[in-house]
Each structure stands twice: as C-alpha cells, then as structure tokens.
C-alpha cells in the first residue's frame, strides 16, 4: 500500500486477499474443532448419566441399596 495515497496496486491486493483467505481457512478449521469438542463434551455427560442409571438398575436387580456416596453436582 502506498502510505501517501492510501491505494493498493494489483500485486499488493492479491497478497492481501491471499492472507485473508488463509485466515478464513484457519478460522473454519478452528470452528470445526470447537464444534467437535462441544459434541464430545455432550456425549461424555450423557455417558456419565447413563452409567449412573445402569448402576442404579444393577443394584435394583440385586435388591440392594447402592453405597451411600456423595456425588458432586453435575456441571
């Protein structure tokens, strides 16, 4: 960019557009990773709840009470 006139020549504009395209591509990659991680966290939470339900069913099938354990609140 010519600092005195504030304009771009074709080569400078092409370089700028290439850099913007690279930034856009990287942001898309980061967004996909974030979406994937959020999905994994949701699945982990569901699995934890499923595990607790299965433990409850197993104790019920054995006609026993589960051990009294203080559980932390789900976050």
Residue with the bigger pLDDT between 13 and 1: it is 13
Strands (E), the chain: none
pTM (whole model) above 0.75: no
Is pLDDT at 26 greater than 70 in this prediction? yes
Quote the CA–CA distance of 75 and 62 in Å, as a whole number: 30
pLDDT band at 1 (very low <50, low <70, confident <90, very high): very low
Tokens representing residue 33 in the block: 């990773």
Span 29-70, pLDDT tens digits: 999 999 999 999 999 999 999 999 999 898 888 887 766 766
Residue 2 has a pLDDT of: 47
């Amino acid at each position: 960019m010519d600092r005195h006139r504030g304009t771009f020549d074709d080569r400078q504009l092409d370089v700028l557009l290439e850099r913007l395209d690279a930034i856009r591509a990287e942001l898309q990659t980061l967004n996909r990773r974030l979406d994937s991680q959020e999905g994994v966290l949701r699945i982990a939470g569901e699995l934890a709840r499923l595990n607790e339900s299965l433990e409850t069913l197993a104790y019920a099938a054995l006609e026993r009470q589960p051990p009294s354990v203080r559980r932390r609140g789900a976050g």
